[in-house]
Amino acid sequence: MRLAWKELIRRPARFLSTGGALTLIVVLLLLLGGLLDGLTLSATGAYGAQTADLLVYTDEANGSLFRSRIDPDVRAQLEDVEGVHTVSGIGAVLLPARIAGSPDPTDVAVFGYEAPNAQVPAPPAGGEAYVDRTLADAGLALGEIFAVGPAAVELRAKDWVDDTSFLAQAGVWADGATWREVLAANRPDAVLPDGTWQALLVEAEGDVDAGELASRIEAATPGLDPQTRAQAILGLPGVEAQQGTFTNIIVMTFVIAGLVVALFFALLTLERVGLFGVLKAIGTSSRTLAGGLVVQAVAIAVGAFVVGGLVTIGLTPVVPPDVPIELVPRRAIVTALGLVVTALIGSAVSFRRIVRIDPASAVGGS
């Protein structure tokens, strides 16, 4: 093992090519993952922020907030279901917003809601709204009035909230009455009367399982479609397809990384056949030599990850602004672990050649 380390330290140039190729693959992997996370977060942030166990739509809405409507009598039935702790209403409308000083309008998702969640406090006073921090990039300042929709309903930005975007539009969170006012003024086809919400957020009592509660709700209130938060997120348009497609591409890129490691270690092993013969002749086992190879592969993978990570962080500011890249630590950890495993598998391709090296070749070799 020490020999492998010393070779890495004394002759880094020998491993530069493998490291360089792997570094680029790391950049590719991190950008792919960042793109997936950016797309997912911008589409699902508002749902991810919810603390409720279930999001309940009407079954005819097919998992869409905009097509669902739950009237007060149905809500009352739902509240009576055993295991339901609290029920609160939620609704949304996608609209353009005009921010003073900004030449172009900005797309926002205006939410009406009743209960606080992990990111948004309890509803503000009428005419006010909590606003997603991404709107600061569009020029919005706290306390400022901005206008939403073609009818230009005015709202005052009360405070920032984080990660509450919905379908790639910045979240704006208002109380029910203000939201209904926005809806009526801008979307006369989507108006809802007082007490009616697009969907309901349900918190389960104590240790009642969310899945079990969903079954009880379905049985007690036909026509409702209770979904766990994870189901609701995956049910948003395009999210599941996006995750499936990107995951396949990422897996394929890991396979390419494995092939690259295997390729270069095959070349490096070939270059050192004579040296390995001598080492075997003086008593070094095949296992020790293979172990050295593994150490080198893992070290190169880790080095490539560090350099690739830094390059990716450096590249992010110059990526076109309409590419929604979000670098999150969890993705980086998964990429690092995946790369190490891939490097291990790739380096194993050369084990057979090491085992086949005949110590006697050290005597007759050139």
Partner 1 sequence: MLLALSEIRRGKLRFGLLTGAVGLLVFLILFLQTLTGALLGFFTGALEHQSAQILVYGEDARRNPESSRVTVETVDAVAQVDGVATAAAFSENTLSVDAGGADLFDTTIFGYELDGPGEPTTLSQGRLPRADGEAVASAIDAGSGFGLGDVVTVVPGKQELTIVGLADDLRFSVQPTLFVSYETFERTVLATNPDAQAVLPSMVAVRVDAGVETAAVANEITDRVEGVDAVTREGAVSSLPGVSAVRSSFQVLLFLAGFVVLLVTGIFFSILTVQKTQALTLLRAVGASAGYLLRNLLLQVLLVTLGGIGVAAGLLALAASVSTPDFPIDADPGLILATGSATLVLALAASIASIRRVRRLDPAGATTRMAGGGLA
363 interacts with partner 1 by CB under 8 A: no
Q: How far apart are CA 144 and CA 159, in angstroms?
A: 10
255 interacts with partner 1 by CB under 8 A: yes
Between residues 117 and 227, which has the closer beta carbon with respect to partner 1?
Answer: 227
349 interacts with partner 1 by CB under 8 A: yes
Name residues whose C-beta falls within 8 Å of residue 66's C-beta, 6 or more positions apart in sequence.
92, 93, 94, 190, 198
66 interacts with partner 1 by CB under 8 A: yes
Name residues whose C-beta falls within 8 Å of residue 12's C-beta, 6 or more positions apart in sequence.
none
Q: How far apart are CA 215 and CA 301, in angstroms?
A: 47
Name residues whose C-beta falls within 8 Å of residue 87's C-beta, 6 or more positions apart in sequence.
75, 78, 79, 200, 201, 202, 203
Name residues whose C-beta falls within 8 Å of residue 292's C-beta, 6 or more positions apart in sequence.
1, 3, 4, 7
Between residues 153 and 204, which has the closer beta carbon with respect to partner 1?
Answer: 153
Q: How far apart are CA 103 and CA 100, in angstroms?
A: 8
Between residues 103 and 283, which has the closer beta carbon with respect to partner 1?
Answer: 103
32 interacts with partner 1 by CB under 8 A: yes
In the bound complex, what is the minimum distance in angstroms from residue 289's beta carbon to partner 1? 16
In the bound complex, what is the minimum distance in angstroms from residue 57's beta carbon to partner 1? 10
Site string for partner 1, 134-153 (x = CB under 8 A): ---------------xx---
Span from 17-25, 72-80, 110-118, 206-214 in contact with partner 1 (CB under 8 A): 17-25
Q: How far is CA 239 from CA 58, 152, 211, 228, in A?
A: 20, 31, 22, 15
H or E, element range at 110: strand 106-113
259 interacts with partner 1 by CB under 8 A: yes
120 interacts with partner 1 by CB under 8 A: no
Span from 113-121, 171-179, 246-254, 294-302 in contact with partner 1 (CB under 8 A): 246-254
260 interacts with partner 1 by CB under 8 A: yes
262 interacts with partner 1 by CB under 8 A: yes
Q: What share of the chain is helix, strand, coil (3-state, %, to 5)?
A: 55, 20, 30
Look up residue 193 and give its two tokens. 């009367």
366 interacts with partner 1 by CB under 8 A: yes
Q: Total residues at the site for partner 1 (CB under 8 A)?
A: 65
Centroid of chain to Cα 181? 34
Give the residues across from 84 on adjacent strands: 204
Q: How far apart are CA 216 and CA 304, in angstroms?
A: 52
324 interacts with partner 1 by CB under 8 A: yes
In the bound complex, what is the minimum distance in angstroms from residue 106's beta carbon to partner 1? 8
What residues make contact with partner 1 under the rule CB under 8 A? 17-18, 20-21, 24-25, 27-28, 31-32, 35, 58, 60-62, 64, 66-67, 69, 94-96, 98, 104-105, 107, 149-150, 168, 184, 186-193, 196, 237-238, 241, 245, 249, 252-253, 255-256, 259-260, 262-264, 266-267, 270-271, 273, 319-320, 322-324, 349, 366
